[in-house]
Amino acid sequence: MLQIDPNEYDSQKLFRILQGGIAPRPIAFASTIDKNGNHNLAPFSFYNIFGINPTTLVFSPSRRGRDNTTKHTLDNLNEVPEVVINVVTYDMVQQTSLASTEYEKGVDEFIKSGLTPLDSKIIKPRRVAESPIQFECKVREIIETSGKPGSGNLVICEIVYIHVDEKIFDENGEIDPDKLDLVGRMGGDYYVRTSGNSKFIVPKPLTTLGIGVDALPDHIKLSNYLTGNDLGQLGNLEKLPSESEIELFRSNSDVKSIIDDIQKLHEYAHNLISNNKVTEACAILMVKV
């Protein structure tokens, strides 16, 4: 395994490792304005939500690594501490990327990217009409981490108004990830999107108390055919199956045909887990106990 001391490692190589290893990252498409009324639009993937009381978003327009200069977004925020953070969808990702071009100060990226500006309700910077969710924010604080090349500037924002396109909601009033189709940043030129087969569900162990992987019988937790994800889902069960539940599978014709073949039995259970039939899988895995 490669061993790295970040204080002694080449900064560009370190940057690529961090970008590639800490991913995917959401994108803050930040719209700002300077004291003279010049608008700026730029994407930042050093970004996330950090609280709801107050509603807190944080993103970082880092200093340029090559010459330690600051970006127009940060300069604008020091003059007018307001920003619209627009979410980025697949349909607008190419225009968003174009807006990241380092145009001269005063050049309007709304015009360069072909995106449509909308007046905000409370703050001065404009919103991006093509973005289905737009957060109007006021800047509470900017924390400069060091002032060195490549260093971050943590822009701590409070949301003061939110605009949401109703078309992205499902029948239960929740945001549908397929309809929203957000994109996220990976390393290099890679992106991901939230629609299609790239998304999956991991039930949160908040309302129930899972038995834990340690509570599984040794022949299950030491299996050569089950994955770590399989064990995690089995450990999230509230209890091991009862003897009566296990007995049902002992008499099952499919199980009886492979009961003496550990590999086939565990692979069969793995397929059940992949189809969210975790309790059934656990019972099958215990037919030999």
For 80-89, write each residue's pLDDT tens digit. Answer: 999 999 999 9
The pLDDT of residue 176 is 95
| 154-188 per-position pLDDT tens digit | 999 999 999 999 999 999 999 999 999 999 999 88
Classify 134 as helix, strand or coil: strand
Residue carrying the six token digits 């064990």: 231
Two tokens, residue 238: 């509230």
Query: Phi and psi (nearest 5°) for 128?
Result: -100, 115
* Largest interatomic CA distance in the chain: 79
The pLDDT of residue 289 is 56
Task: Return the amino acid letter for 211.
Answer: I
- The whole-angstrom separation of Cα 224 and Cα 169 is 42
The pLDDT of residue 6 is 87
Least Cα distance to 41 among 80, 94, 84, 90 occurs for 84
The pLDDT of residue 206 is 60
Rounded to the nearest integer, the mean pLDDT of the chain is 92
Two tokens, residue 247: 């007995």
CA 182 to chain centre: 10
Least Cα distance to 65 among 107, 22, 30, 13 occurs for 13
- The whole-angstrom separation of Cα 91 and Cα 191 is 13
Looking at CATH, the fold of the domain delimited by 11-196 is given as Pnp Oxidase; Chain A (2.30.110)
| 184-220 per-position pLDDT tens digit | 999 889 999 988 888 777 777 766 788 999 999 999 9
- Contacts of residues 115-118 at CB distance under 8 Å and 24 or more positions apart, as own/partner, are 115/41, 117/39
In this structure, the number of other CB atoms found within 10 A of the CB of residue 255 comes to 18
- The whole-angstrom separation of Cα 224 and Cα 289 is 17
Whether the predicted pLDDT of 253 surpasses 90 = no
- Per-domain boundaries in the chain: 11-196, 213-285
Instruction: Report the share of the chain in percent with pLDDT over 90.
Output: 67
List CB contacts of 115: < 8 A, sequence separation 6 or more.
41, 92, 95, 99, 109, 128, 129, 130
Alpha helices in the chain (DSSP H): 11-21, 72-79, 93-99, 109-113, 177-180, 218-221, 228-235, 243-250, 253-256, 262-274, 278-285
In this structure, the number of other CB atoms found within 10 A of the CB of residue 123 comes to 22
Contact 17, 188 (CB under 8 A): no
pLDDT category of residue 33 using cuts at 50, 70 and 90:
very high
